[in-house]
Amino acid sequence: MAAEVISFARGAPSADILPVEAVREAAGRALADDWQRALSYGTGVGHPGLREWIAERHELEPAQVMVTNGSLEAGAMLFQHLVGAGDRVIVEQPSYDRTLLLLERLGAERVGVALAADGLDVEQLEAAVREQPATLVHAIPNFHNPAGCTLSAPKRERLVELAAELGFRIFEDDPYRELSFEEVPSPTMLSLDGSDRVIYASSFSKTVSPGVRVGYLAGPAEEIGKLAKRASEVYISPNMLAESIVWELCRSGALDENIAFVKGALRERRDALVGALREQLPEAEFVVPGGGYFLWLTLGHDADSAELLSAAREEGVAFVAGPDFMLDGGRSSLRLSFASVPAELIGEGVARICRALERIRAASPA
Ligand SMILES: Cc1ncc(COP(=O)(O)O)c(C=O)c1O
């Protein structure tokens, strides 16, 4: 067994790219200038200063925003608010595993729609919803977890049109938007929505750090008001100390500096991964992610990613097997997170995956 495990499994940055100094300074300022707010209960909408800052960044009114304890909990509250047992919810295939689980727990009927290199197959979605109405569509528009793809601008426009025509809502789950390596991302579906169908979520987990647990929801003011009431009934207010620190980072410009730094590091890791895969595993297929954390790798039909994972662990490398992100299938695919592995270890990590693949192929020749 190799000395230290190289893990492409976690959707989190390695510790060497976390902004410890900037957070330390922001925490000092928060406790000097904003300490009463930071140390008190707030309301269900979260820290007013941060709420205003987010609203301005998205060109919204503050009443259209609530700050939450990360975006996963925000999404869970949204599902509880909108989805009842038996309701049809369209999910991307593959999709974020925790979303699939939350919807299953609510008793929703999850209807899978395929992803292409430019995001959701909107025609398949339209056919599924015309056949039988859906309550909600869940979409991860930028640098998808786990697929790495990005929803094109025309597809965003079409989805928003279809939502208005066919009466479903869209949950735009967008924690990776700020982590674009090449171009400015296309407009959010929230910004295109003239019919109050879109609720948007994002997070500071990827732009500051996952441990701050600060995210937000944005959408029609009336809907946000109801969700904030639900939030205050459950937890009184989100974590005001964390939000006060994040607000300091936002208004001092340290957030934007960190985003620039993190994007540079992630881009270097993405390039190292793409290069190593092309060189060492040329038969594998993937969409080159234009940002974010993830690459979705599809191997030949003979490869079973769960079996590969067992062999990979023995070689000292980890990833997440494809079926975790699917309602069905995904057997020959796997998710590699390049956020969690420093660039200099990526080539060796891929070499270990190749060795594991050779072992399972040798054990069961086609
Ligand atoms: C698509 C997606 N939504 C939501 C989340 C949850 O993020 P947060 O840390 O803001 O709760 C993640 C985290 O990996 C994610 O990939």
Which of 68, 71, 78, 177 to probe ligand 1 with, by most ligand atoms within 8 A of CB?
A: 71
Give 236-294 pLDDT, tens digit per residue.
Answer: 999 999 999 999 999 999 999 999 999 999 999 999 999 999 999 999 999 999 999 99
Q: Tell me what the mean pLDDT of segment 187-205 comes to.
A: 98
The Cα 188–Cα 16 span in angstroms is 31
Extended strands (E) in 264-366: 294-298, 317-318, 320-321, 333-337
Residue 143 Cβ inside 6 Å of ligand 1? The answer reads: no
What percent of the chain shows pLDDT beyond 90? 96
Average pLDDT over residues 337-353: 97
If one compares 180 and 2, the residue with the highest pLDDT of the two is 180
Global pTM reads: 0.97
Task: Work out which ligand 1 atom sits closest to the CA atom of 69.
Answer: 11
323 lines ligand 1 (CB under 6 A): no
Say how many Å lie between the CA of residue 301 and the centre of ligand 1.
30
Higher pLDDT, 365 or 244: 244
Write down the pLDDT at residue 185: 93
pLDDT band at 366 (very low <50, low <70, confident <90, very high): low
Does the CB atom of residue 202 touch ligand 1 within 6 A? no
Please state, rounded to an integer, the average pLDDT across all residues of the chain. Answer: 96
Q: Which fold has domain 6-17+256-363?
A: Aspartate Aminotransferase, domain 1 (3.90.1150)
The confidence score (pLDDT) of residue 318 equals 98
- In three-state form (DSSP H/G/I as H, E/B as E, the rest C), the secondary structure along 119-168 is EECHHHHHHHHHHCCCCEEEECCCCCCCCCCCCCHHHHHHHHHHHHHHCC
Distance from Cα 72 to the centre of ligand 1, integer Å? 5
How many angstroms separate the alpha carbon of residue 131 from the centre of ligand 1? 31
Pocket flag, ligand 1, residue 42 (CB < 6 Å): no
Q: How confident is the model at residue 1 (pLDDT cuts 50, 70, 90)?
A: very low
pLDDT at 218: 98
Tokens of 82: 């909108």
User: Could you tell me if the CB of 67 is within 6 A of ligand 1?
Assistant: no
Domain boundaries, the chain: 6-17+256-363, 20-252
Q: Do the beta carbons of residue 188 and residue 152 sit within 8 Å?
A: no
Q: Is 249 helix (H, G, I), strand (E, B) or coil?
A: helix
Tokens coding 117? 């290199």
Pocket test for ligand 1, best of 67, 173, 174, 216 (most atoms within 8 A of CB): 173
- Asked if 122 and 115 count as a contact pair (C-beta separation under 8 A), the reply is no
**The token pair that represents 60 in the structure block:** 């919204």
> Looking at domain 20-252, does it have CATH number 3.10.20.30?
no
**Ligand 1 nearest atom to the CA of residue 74, by list position:** 11
322-343 pLDDT tens trace: 999 999 999 999 999 999 999 9
pLDDT for residue 3 is more than 70: no
Q: In what order do the strands lie in the sheet with 136-139?
A: 65-68, 215-218, 198-203, 169-173, 136-139, 88-93, 109-116, 119-120
- Nearest atom of ligand 1 to the alpha carbon of 11: 14
Give 17-60 pLDDT, tens digit per residue.
999 999 999 999 999 999 999 999 999 999 999 999 999 999 99
In the chain, what percentage of residues exceed pLDDT 70? 99
- Determine the pLDDT at residue 300: 83
Record the tokens describing residue 299, joined without a space. Answer: 């191997």
The residue whose CA has the least distance to atom 6 of ligand 1 is 72
Which residue is it, tokens 């079409």? Answer: 158
134-152 pLDDT, tens digit per residue, is: 999 999 999 999 999 999 9
Letter string b/e over residues 4-25, b meaning 16 or more CB atoms within 10 A of that residue's CB: eebbbbbbbbbeebbbeebbeb
Q: Which atom of ligand 1 is nearest to the CA of 210?
A: 9
Confirm or reject: Cβ of 218 under 6 Å from ligand 1.
Answer: no
Q: Looking at the predicted structure, is the pLDDT value of residue 113 above 90?
A: yes
Q: Please write the tens of the pLDDT for every residue from 296-315.
A: 999 987 889 999 999 999 99
Distance 9 CA to ligand 1 centre (A): 15
pLDDT at 2 over 60: no
What are the structure tokens assigned to 14, written together? Answer: 């390695």
Instruction: Give me the pLDDT at residue 302, please.
Output: 80
pLDDT recorded at residue 115: 98
